[in-house]
Amino acid sequence: MSMKFTDLLDSLRGRVARMTALVQQIVDQSVESIVHLDTDLARQAVELDNRIDEEEVHIEKQAIDLLARYQPAAGDLRLITTIIKVNGDFERIADCAVNIAQRVPLLASMGDYLVSTDLRLMANTAVATLRYTINAFNLNELELAQQVLKGDDVLDALYHQIITDSLSSLENEHRANRDLSTIMVAKNLERIGDHCTNIAEDIVYVQSGRIIRHLHAV
Amino acid sequence: MITATRPAIAPLPTPAAAVAVPAVDAPRTALIEAKNVSVFYGAVEAIKSVSLGVAANEVVAFIGPSGCGKSTFLRSINRINDMVRGCHMKGELSIGGQNIYAPGVDLVTLRRQVGMVFQKPNPFPTSIHANITYGPRLQGVRRRPELDAIVEDCLRKAALWDEVKDRLHSSALSLSGGQQQRVCIARALATRPSVLLMDEPASALDPIATAKIEDLIVSLKNLVTIIVVTHNMHQAARVSDRTAFFYLGKLIEYDETGTIFTNPTNKQTEEYITGRFG
């Protein structure tokens, strides 16, 4: 295969790396905005999503173009097909961040909303798990992929704790509105963990050719 | 298709001392098995202790850079290398359990059983009909209806019948390159081989003719075991069940084609099929 192909593949990887930086930025912003009820930061996060959507489409086109023109094999094939898959997961993570940021104006208007300890912990865990995911993907580090799975377990546990705690509040309308928002935020943080897990499993495929989906282990 | 009514071809007389290779009409369960096969051109060891097995009715692709020995190994399966001065081999190569290099093996019978198609289409400068009937005539088939039946059967199997049925007595050289190659395949099939060796059978053809040859390889594997040497890795990926990667006379990796092209074990295989060397 010509040098042109390897150049194009490097270019595609670079583009994915830039997109992952944007995804990390949007998740950082949305989490920060919910913790501090910062409506300006929330708006910035929502606006950033447009760029990520455009990047997703560019990456997909570039990857499909490489498949069509060069018919790559082996490690190259695994990498490009995985890029197409994780590209979608990263874009969905950005959508989760937008969903979280869009809750900020409502919660800020309530005046008495305080982020619970569990939600704050979930937010920090989601940010850290995403960071592990991005580094694992861009640096080909399987050990970090293991950390991603652990992070997802923590997010799942916290999410269920928040749901349980919120059920008792549903009889009080004001608290129900507040806790519903909390659940929605928690749900999106939990989904970020799920997408990170998908990406971690795909990283294992790129590295080893093993498909570990549904095995719940790296 | 007229397979069911096709008359049996009389076997070619073999010397009394000849070791019989499996009959062409034997059940298609024969295996090709190489054990520590080395092939030498004089002092040069072109193939270095290669061992591999090919199951009946599978398509195996040999890939590797030029000079890696894949064609040499292919040609050792019907002993065409015997005609190269100074060429000799070590090890054991058997078809259907019979060592084809054992003393007394009849080469005519062997090559009837192991057909071959070359890179450049090489039809005889005679009619299409005469090309196909050449082998059966040598085997003693004389009756015109039998020969006609063989021609139709083989041309159908070679996916060429509909294109040439109205000009069977025209020169085979008047056909296009792709059609000529299919005449050669039909000619090879006429002796009812159990193995078909193909040495870059589509490398001289345009993409449409290449696609027809590839379709043909896939459809013919119900009839014969096929080994195809190709420089076109995508072709190997499309047509073969298993792929063998040769490099510098050694068999580096041999596995399911899907595995070779998605997750090869050997680094050299990976680098070759991803175009990073070779």
Interval B194-247: pLDDT, tens: 999 999 999 988 899 899 899 999 999 999 999 999 999 999 999 999 999 999
* Residue B53: strand pairing partners: B33
Q: Is B86 helix (H, G, I), strand (E, B) or coil?
A: coil
Write out chain A residues lying below 8 Å of B263, CB-based. Answer: 74, 78, 208-209
The alpha carbon dihedral of B255, B257, B259, B262 has a sign of positive
Q: Residues A117, A122, A124, CA angle at the centre, nearest 5°?
A: 95
B94-113 as b/e: b if 16+ CB within 10 A: bbbebbbbeeebbeebbbbb
- Provide the pLDDT confidence category of residue B278 given band limits of 50, 70 and 90: low
Whether ipTM exceeds 0.90 = no
Q: Taking CB atoms and an 8 Å limit, are A73 and B276 in contact across chains?
A: no
Among A76, A207, A212, the residue to mutate for chain B (most B Cβ within 10 A): A76
What pLDDT, on a 0 to 100 scale, did the predictor assign at position A207? 87
Write out chain B residues lying below 8 Å of A208, CB-based. Answer: 263
Residue A37 CB contacts under 8 Å (≥ 6 apart), including other chains: A104, A107, A108, A113
What pLDDT, on a 0 to 100 scale, did the predictor assign at position B165? 96
Q: Is B69 helix (H, G, I), strand (E, B) or coil?
A: coil
Give the model confidence (pLDDT) of B139-189 as tens digits.
999 999 999 999 999 999 999 999 999 999 999 999 999 999 999 999 999
Residue A77 contacts B, CB cutoff 8 Å: yes
At B6, which amino acid appears?
A: R
Question: If we measure between CA atoms, which residue out of B246, B171, B234, B222 comes closest to residue B59?
Answer: B222
Average pLDDT over residues A104-108: 93
The arrangement of strands across the sheet holding B98-99 comes to B44-54, B32-41, B87-95, B98-99
Rounded CA-CA distance A51/A134 in Å is: 18
Among B7-11, B93-97, B203-207, top mean pLDDT goes to B93-97
For B272, which residue in chain A has the nearest alpha carbon? A1
Residue positions counted in chain B: 278
Contact (Cβ atoms closer than 8 angstroms) between residue B248 and residue B227: no
Listed by number, the residues of chain B in 236-265 with a beta carbon closer than 8 Å to a beta carbon of chain A are 237, 261-264
Q: Which residue has the higher pLDDT, A213 or A79?
A: A79
Residue A153 CB contacts under 8 Å (≥ 6 apart), including other chains: none
pLDDT at residue B88 above 80? yes
Q: Taking CB atoms and an 8 Å limit, are A74 and B263 in contact across chains?
A: yes
The alpha carbon dihedral of A8, A11, A16, A19 has a sign of negative
What pLDDT, on a 0 to 100 scale, did the predictor assign at position A216? 65
Rounded CA-CA distance B244/B198 in Å is: 14
What pTM value is reported for the model? 0.80
Contact (Cβ atoms closer than 8 angstroms) between residue B278 and residue B65: yes
- Pairing status of strand B195-199 against strand B225-229: parallel
Residue A73 contacts B, CB cutoff 8 Å: yes
- Provide the pLDDT confidence category of residue A69 given band limits of 50, 70 and 90: confident
CA distance, residue B209 to nearest chain A CA (Å): 20
Separation of CA A92 from chain center:
7
Q: Taking CB atoms and an 8 Å limit, are A72 and B263 in contact across chains?
A: no
What pLDDT, on a 0 to 100 scale, did the predictor assign at position B21? 38
What pLDDT, on a 0 to 100 scale, did the predictor assign at position B66? 93
Reading the block at residue B88, the tokens are 């000799």
Contact (Cβ atoms closer than 8 angstroms) between residue B201 and residue B178: no
Q: Taking CB atoms and an 8 Å limit, are A73 and B273 in contact across chains?
A: yes
pLDDT-wise least confident of A88-92, A174-178, B182-186, B239-243: A174-178
Residue B276 contacts A, CB cutoff 8 Å: yes
pLDDT at residue B36 above 80? yes
Percent of chain A with pLDDT over 90: 73
- Pairing status of strand B242-247 against strand B59-63: parallel
Reading the block at residue A93, the tokens are 């993570």
